[in-house]
Amino acid sequence: MNTDLITYYKDRAKEYEKIYLKPERQDDLLSSTTILQELFANKSVIEIACGTGYWTEKISKSANSIFATDINKTVIEIAEQKDFSNAQVTFGLADIFNFKPDNKYDSLFGGFIWSHIQLQDLDKFLNTVNKFVLPGGTIVFIDNNFVEGSNHSITNIDEQGNSFQTRKLDNGTTHLVLKNFPTENFLRKKLSNIATDIQFINLTYFWILSYRPLEEYNG
């Protein structure tokens, strides 16, 4: 069983957006799109873990510009084929933990990346992304709530409390995928000393978090 997230998303690239076809999630997807378009209206945005560009395309309808990054070239090649006529969109190959963008941005967006960060690496992760935005800039994450019957079951929890799901792809490979499901209380506590203007929107299948890094954590 493969435990490498990079390999998993490389192999999953062509079937990735099937997840957005689930009937029960359609209302949440519409609500999330509206919320994110409002948050990024007329902003310069750096997107991390853009994947196949599903959300890049959505937020490009209102953002001024987007620099969308991912560690996987395979998904970027799919994302580049989408229609981004409403905004200036560029792509870059980047490992978030070893990447220093040339510019800072009004906003940072991370779609479904928080859940794939190990709990023991969250402080390092937040310290990194906070430095990507301008003073007064906004960080925004969207991710999954765990809903029985809609999500894959949790099949393993490690000593640090990280949870994992066993997933099988169309090519027949099986992967043990890191997937954490933080509570609102956990998120607020994690940000309490490094952020201000923390906003949490809890939908049925997704949650959206936005905040502004405190100046001393903004680099």
Domains of the chain: 5-148+182-217 (3.40.50.150)
Q: Quote the CA–CA distance of 179 and 157 in Å, as a whole number.
A: 10
| CA distance readout (Å), 217 to 13, 19, 74, 190, 210 | 34, 35, 33, 13, 15
Q: Answer positive or negative: Cα dihedral of 60, 63, 65, 71.
A: negative
If the chain, 219 residues long, is cut into consecutive pieces of 10 residues, what is the mean pLDDT of each piece?
60 76 95 98 97 96 97 93 90 90 94 96 96 96 94 91 88 87 98 96 98 84
Whether the Cβ atoms of residue 212 and residue 197 lie closer than 8 Å to each other: yes
pLDDT at 14: 73
For the chain, helix (H) and strand (E) counts, in that order, are 6, 10
pTM of the model: 0.93
- Helix (H) / strand (E) element for 70: namely strand 65-70
pLDDT at 171: 79
pLDDT at 6: 65
Whether the Cβ atoms of residue 119 and residue 32 lie closer than 8 Å to each other: no
